[in-house]
Amino acid sequence: MKRTIILFIVLLLATVAYSQKNMNIEPMFKGEGKWNLKFSATHIEGTSLEPYNLTLFRSITTSDFRLYGEMKQLVEIDCKEAVDKECGYINGELYYGFYQLKPVNDRYRYIFYRNSSLRKDEPNELTVVYMEGYPTLAELKQMFK
């Protein structure tokens, strides 16, 4: 019985650690090293997300063009195994991507990518958002219309 409980706890901890941590995009949100350059960052957890049925919201935005390529590459690596996605392109370049990742602990996980520098009528910036929670992709799209 004791072994079963210990095994259950180890598996539970491993699953929790699998969420945003250990993803390629995580260093961007930590703001260390090169990721500390000209970023606007948001990190929200707790009761303020309850109306959206989310448990975690993180976003970063930069206008530092030197980082755009690597940011896009890290998002693409993490989203290779997305269970659902919607992407838009401008002149063959990824303009936006909305990716649903495999759920962890019954929580849905999403990555949103947008390179608004590809449009002349928008600011020259790139934004990456990571969200966890309980709304489905359809519910999230409805909320953020």
pLDDT of 4 higher than 60? no
Q: What angle do CA 92, 98, 104 make, to 5 degrees?
A: 140
Which residue in the block uniquely carries the two structure tokens 């063009």?
A: 65
CA atoms of 133 and 145, how far apart (whole Å): 18
Rounded to the nearest angstrom, the gap between the alpha carbon of residue 75 and the centroid of all alpha carbons in its chain is 8
Range of the domain at 124: 2-143
Report pLDDT digits (tens) over 77-102: 999 989 999 999 999 999 999 999 99
- 89, 95 contact by CB (below 8 A): yes
Nearest CA to 119 out of 90, 87, 92 is that of 90
Report pLDDT digits (tens) over 21-34: 678 898 888 876 67
Q: Label residue 131 left, alpha or beta by phi (over 0 means left) and psi (-120 to 50 means alpha).
A: beta
Report pLDDT digits (tens) over 35-68: 766 788 889 999 999 999 999 999 999 998 888 9
How many domains does the structure of the chain reveal?
1
pTM above 0.85, yes or no: no
Q: Label residue 12 left, alpha or beta by phi (over 0 means left) and psi (-120 to 50 means alpha).
A: alpha
Instruction: Express the helix, strand and coil content of the chain in percent, nearest 5 each.
Output: 40, 35, 25
